[in-house]
Amino acid sequence: MHMQLSKEKIMPNAFRSIGLIARATAAMGNQLFQANDLSNNQFIFLMRIIETPGITQAELATQLHVDPSTCLRAVRKLIATQYVTRGIDAHDKKRRPLLATTKGQAMYPALEDYEQQILSVGTQGLSTGETALLEELLAKVARNVRDYQNQH
């Protein structure tokens, strides 16, 4: 993939920090939810399925920016551990919506608490305005990267 860079030096530390945050929060979540048989970032997949009832596997892969085979492995494990079921759409037989089971739904408070704890730790010392600005800027960066990825 050929990338055209501007003549200005781009701040690599910002992107390295984003990677560090992603890896550290995933590792902590994997460790925290390991006792619940949720590993390899499956807690992230479960959270998105709970928050988006009826999402398809393809939609989930797109939302999480993972390849379809990674998503398939995670969903199969969530089904095997009875956190998720694959439903049947009455209007479209090819559509297989993913739904959290009662066991999966019961995990949501712990998943949400973890997410809020990480957000609280990550934004500690930031003002409300700084937190809002950070969210806005990261959304722009994510959109730019996603758009670039879709074009190449």
For the chain, 152 residues long, give each residue's pLDDT as a single digit of tens: 555 555 566 677 888 999 999 999 999 999 999 999 998 899 999 999 999 999 999 999 999 989 999 999 999 999 999 999 999 888 888 889 999 999 999 999 999 999 999 999 999 999 999 999 999 999 999 899 889 888 88
φ, ψ of residue 98 to 5 degrees: the values are: -100, 135
pLDDT of the residue at 7: 52
How far apart are the C-alpha atoms of 74 and 101, rounded to whole Å?
A: 15
Dist. CA 79–CA 15, nearest whole Å: 34
Cβ distance 78 to 84 under 8 Å? yes
AA letter at 145:
V
Helix (H, G, I), strand (E, B) or coil at 40: coil
Tokens of 79: 């089904």
Q: Where are the domains of the chain?
A: 23-113
- pLDDT value of position 55: 97
Residue type, 27: A
Q: Is 102 exposed, middle or buried (0-12, 13-18, 19+ CB in 10 A)?
A: exposed
Q: What confidence score (pLDDT) does residue 89 get?
A: 83
Q: List the end-to-end C-alpha distance of the chain, in Å, as a whole number.
A: 8
Q: Which helix (H) or strand (E) holds 116?
A: helix 102-122
In this structure, what are the phi and psi dihedrals at residue 99, rounded to the nearest 5 degrees? -135, 140
Rounded CA separation 79/75 (Å) = 6
Top-tier CATH class for 23-113: mainly alpha
pLDDT the model gives residue 79: 98
User: What are residue 86's phi and psi, to 5 degrees?
Assistant: -105, 115
